[in-house]
Amino acid sequence: MQTVTTIAEVRAFAEEARAGGGAVGFVPTMGYLHEGHASLMAAARAECDRVVASVFVNPLQFGAGEDLGAYPRDIERDTALAAAAGVDLLFVPGAAEMYPGAVVTSVRVAEITDRFEGATRPGHFAGVATVVAKLFAIVGPCSAYFGEKDWQQVCVVRRMAADLSLPVRVVACPTSREPDGLARSSRNVYLTDDERSAAPVLRRALQAGADLVAAGVRDAARVEARVAEAVATEPLVVLDYVAAVSADTLAPLDPLVGEIRLLVAARVGRPRLLDNIGLTVPA
Ligand code: PAF
């Protein structure tokens, strides 16, 4: 595996791959890689001839007072994990390479960013959409791989790629979980031992909501109340929101039919943790 820091080097690599008829797969990350990222890299490896991954803690997607400065970093470990997962080229740009001047151009995806993470973190999704559009323009992948754990991010990136006619297939990969069900996240490192023990309640609560839907309940408010009640059994886990919504548009659904996503966010000590589950309810 080769590690590069400039846009020109990534372009040269990807252009050569494409010229030889190779399909380029891309995994954008903010580093501090874990098995979840490795599973995205493995999916890219299985489907593409060349795999490019990036490690860039994107300042544009952090709000004032968020953890940009403290965001965990370990580029040596990241390099080893990416190499072991079959990445061919690791792009690790500095902020000056990505944003050499003042950033006056931004990609904003409206509506699906109004609620949930978009409401809690103003400007976050414009930062994500802008850097992902830029990375797509640099790498020119035919497929790009994202984790379902950040479901709203998947929806935003898909919509951005569709609306801008970007020739990229956005692939959502199943959430990677610890054995006790906790969704893997770089921010789990912030949890104390007690918080870590409490955090898997999020997965159990989603499952309780899903069980209610499986039992025939079609009222979103009842399902959401069931999830909230399950989360409340762990005092260290403070619910931010729970929502049963349309999987694609994140719009409210009443009754719950079709492709549904049950979303949950909670503060567990320092970090806010996200999780979600997909359900298909035939009409
Ligand atoms: O999911 C992430 O790690 C980031 O939001 C992404 C997609 C790499 C953009 O910075």
**Ligand 1, pocket-test mutation among 39, 55, 56, 58, most atoms within 8 A of CB:** 58
Note whether 152 and 216 are same-domain residues.
no
Q: How many domains does the chain have?
A: 2
Residues in contact with ligand 1 (CB, 6 Å cut-off) = 28-30, 58, 61, 128, 131-132, 150, 153
Note whether 194 and 81 are same-domain residues.
no
Q: Indicate the average pLDDT of the chain.
A: 98
pTM of the model: 0.98
From 173, 205, 234, the end of a domain falls on: 173
Give the model confidence (pLDDT) of 82-106 as tens digits: 999 999 999 999 999 999 999 999 9
Give the model confidence (pLDDT) of 103-136 as tens digits: 999 999 999 999 999 999 999 999 999 999 999 9
From CA 215, how far away is CA 72, in angstroms rounded? 41
Q: What is the largest CA-CA distance in the chain?
A: 57
Q: Would you say residue 103 lies in a domain?
A: yes
Cα 40 to averaged position of ligand 1 atoms, centre (Å)? 12
Give the model confidence (pLDDT) of 66-75 as tens digits: 999 999 999 9
Note whether 29 and 150 are same-domain residues.
yes
**CA nearest ligand 1 atom 1, residue:** 29
**CA nearest ligand 1 atom 2, residue:** 29
Q: Would you say residue 150 lies in a domain?
A: yes
Note whether 87 and 115 are same-domain residues.
yes
Q: For residue 153, give the CATH number of its domain.
A: 3.40.50.620
Cα 262 to averaged position of ligand 1 atoms, centre (Å)? 21
CB 175 within 8 A of CB 151: no
Cα 91 to averaged position of ligand 1 atoms, centre (Å)? 14
Note whether 53 and 138 are same-domain residues.
yes
Domain span at residue 52?
Answer: 2-173
Q: Would you say residue 179 lies in a domain?
A: no
Q: For the CA atoms of 91, 96, 97, 99, what is the dihedral angle to 10 degrees?
A: 110
